[in-house]
Amino acid sequence: MTLDEKFLGVDGWKSSFESVDKVLRHYGRKVRSEHTRMNFLGALARFCEYVGYDDPDDLVKLSPQEVSRLVQGFIDSLRERGLSIRYVNVSLAYLKTFFRVNGFKNSMELEVERYYQPSRYMKREEYIPTAEENYRMAYAAGSTRNKALILALYTSGLRNSTLRALLYRDVKEELKEGFDIIKVLVYPEMKEVDPGACKGNIPYYSFLSKEAVEVLREYLDERRTAHGNIEDDEPLFISETTNIDPDERRQTMVMKKSLSAIVKRAAKQAGIKKWEAVTPHCLRKTFESALRNSGLDVKDQEFLMGHILPGSQDTYYDQTKVEDLRRKYAQVNFFPQRGFITEEMRKRQLLDTARLLGYRDERLRRLEEVLAKSKNVDEAIEKFRRFKENPGSEENNVKIVKGEDALMDHLKKGWTLVKELNHDKYLLKSG
């Protein structure tokens, strides 16, 4: 139970306060959306705190004039705190519904001015990464889990809440059957995991690309090594926080703010100048662009985005037609640059590797100078080798090997794996 639910005497869709209970029954008849329920309770709880009322039933005993004055003051205070116009107006809408359901209508209608919100209003700047930037973000994300999260966000188009609400059982069967591209179902029951997981209670499905599935399998293998067998009801992506017991961690999904932080950090590591403006929703927009650029039928695009109305899914999208849509999805080129890495990306990877190995600032600057003056990375590496004055330094005791067989051979000889690189390559350190 959340603090707002406790404060307002709420248990599910019922409340011990008559005024609140009326509104919950109203929303229950209309949409019965967990997301709407929680947003309404949050707006009402904040309003009660602002006006100093512990009993919401007392609010509906006030005059329309007094309520109008209090509500106007409340939403003005929200705006003065720098909250977005959209947030302010949505809070006002919830409060007006609360009072209207409790008899404040017609001659008793509240007189409160809402804030003007221009079309396409957006308080926060957004930066939509390109396909290449998404690729760089994935491989700069750090852990295998983070790489899988970013690839899944981008190639499925799932919303933040939806991706985090996925359970292992949602993908288990398709992974077992060996699909390169797996189907991801979005269904109303996901709201039990996260209230915002299935917008509008509209079921649909999308897919994860081959690239995303490869990394997801790798991540799940790491999970099994660390925690044992994965149970069906465990989150597909679990928290990596060390502040909780490992057994509890297995049942704890990635938090909303954590996913946003993972995306921003990856964007920064990938060299995106406007990394602070990159959010999980931005990757959903990149997914939309990839669908559009692929020439996919508009109807298919809308379905894969979840932009459909209740009851509008015809038999084309039923379970018998999954393979047809999977085949069309497979034609979407999420990574036009796949198969090669630009010299700029190779340079960035080389510098990241040098930092990972603990290169001193002076040597890092020298490496940057060599890279800037060289035609390509291979030439830069050859030049940089000539600068190594100390043959026995730790920097010389590293190598890159290709393939798992070579990796295993070196590990048996005492080498240590430092980092897995792109294209089946591994960075090793002796000793």
Structural domain includes residue 274: yes
Residues 97 and 238 in one domain: no
Structural domain includes residue 121: no
Structural domain includes residue 326: yes
Residues 375 and 410 in one domain: no
Residues 251 and 268 in one domain: yes
pLDDT at residue 340 in the model: 42
Residues 278 and 417 in one domain: no
Structural domain includes residue 136: yes
pLDDT at residue 391 in the model: 41
What number of other Cβ atoms are within 10 A of residue 101's Cβ?
A: 18
Structural domain includes residue 305: yes
Residues 101 and 237 in one domain: no
Structural domain count, the chain:
4
Give the whole-angstrom CA distance, residue 315 versus residue 324.
12
Residues 427 and 370 in one domain: no
Using alpha carbons, list the distances in angstroms from residue 303 to 59, 308, 329, 332, 383: 44, 6, 12, 15, 53
What number of other Cβ atoms are within 10 A of residue 281's Cβ?
A: 14
Total-model pTM: 0.62
DSSP string, 295-310: T--HHHHHHHHT---T
Using alpha carbons, list the distances in angstroms from residue 364 to 356, 395, 417: 11, 12, 22
pLDDT at residue 188 in the model: 87
Residues 14 and 30 in one domain: yes
| Sequence-separated contacts (24+) of 78-81 with Cβ below 8 Å | 79/115
Residues 159 and 282 in one domain: yes
Tell me the pLDDT tens digit for each residue of 89-128.
999 999 999 999 999 999 999 999 999 877 665 556 789 9
Query: Which one, of 97, 194, 156, 169, lies nearest residue 303 by Cα?
Result: 156
Give the whole-angstrom CA distance, residue 342 versus residue 96.
55
DSSP string, 189-253: GGGGT-TTSSGGG--EEEEE-HHHHHHHHHHHHHHHHHH-SPPTTSBSSB---SSS-HHHHTT-B
Residues 173 and 282 in one domain: yes
Tell me the pLDDT tens digit for each residue of 224-255.
888 889 999 999 999 888 777 878 888 889 98
Structural domain includes residue 123: no
- Would you give per-residue pLDDT tens digits along the chain (431 residues)? 788 999 999 999 999 999 999 999 999 887 777 888 999 999 999 999 999 999 999 999 999 999 999 999 999 999 999 888 889 999 999 999 999 999 999 999 999 999 987 766 555 678 999 988 898 888 888 788 999 999 999 999 999 999 999 999 999 999 999 999 999 999 889 988 888 888 877 888 999 999 999 999 999 998 888 888 999 999 999 988 877 787 888 888 998 889 999 999 999 988 889 999 999 999 999 999 999 888 888 888 888 998 865 555 555 556 668 888 999 999 998 987 654 445 666 666 677 767 666 677 777 777 777 777 776 666 766 666 555 444 444 444 666 777 767 777 777 777 776 666 655 566 677 75
Give the whole-angstrom CA distance, residue 118 versus residue 198.
28
How deeply is 10 buried, as exposed, middle or buried, from its count of CB atoms within 10 A (0-12, 13-18, 19+)?
Answer: buried
Residues 21 and 158 in one domain: no
Structural domain includes residue 71: yes
Residues 310 and 366 in one domain: no
Q: Residue 200 sits in which domain range?
A: 131-330
Residues 196 and 317 in one domain: yes
Taking the alpha carbons at both ends of the chain, their separation in whole angstroms is 52
Helix (H) or strand (E) segment spanning residue 81: none
Q: Tell me, what CATH number does 247's domain have?
A: 1.10.443.10
Q: DSSP assignment, residue 28?
A: H
| Last residue of one domain, picked from the residues 300, 330, 360 | 330
Using alpha carbons, list the distances in angstroms from residue 212 to 215, 327, 333, 351: 5, 16, 13, 26
Cα angle at 40 between 39 and 41, to 5 degrees? 90
Structural domain includes residue 115: no
pLDDT at residue 77 in the model: 95
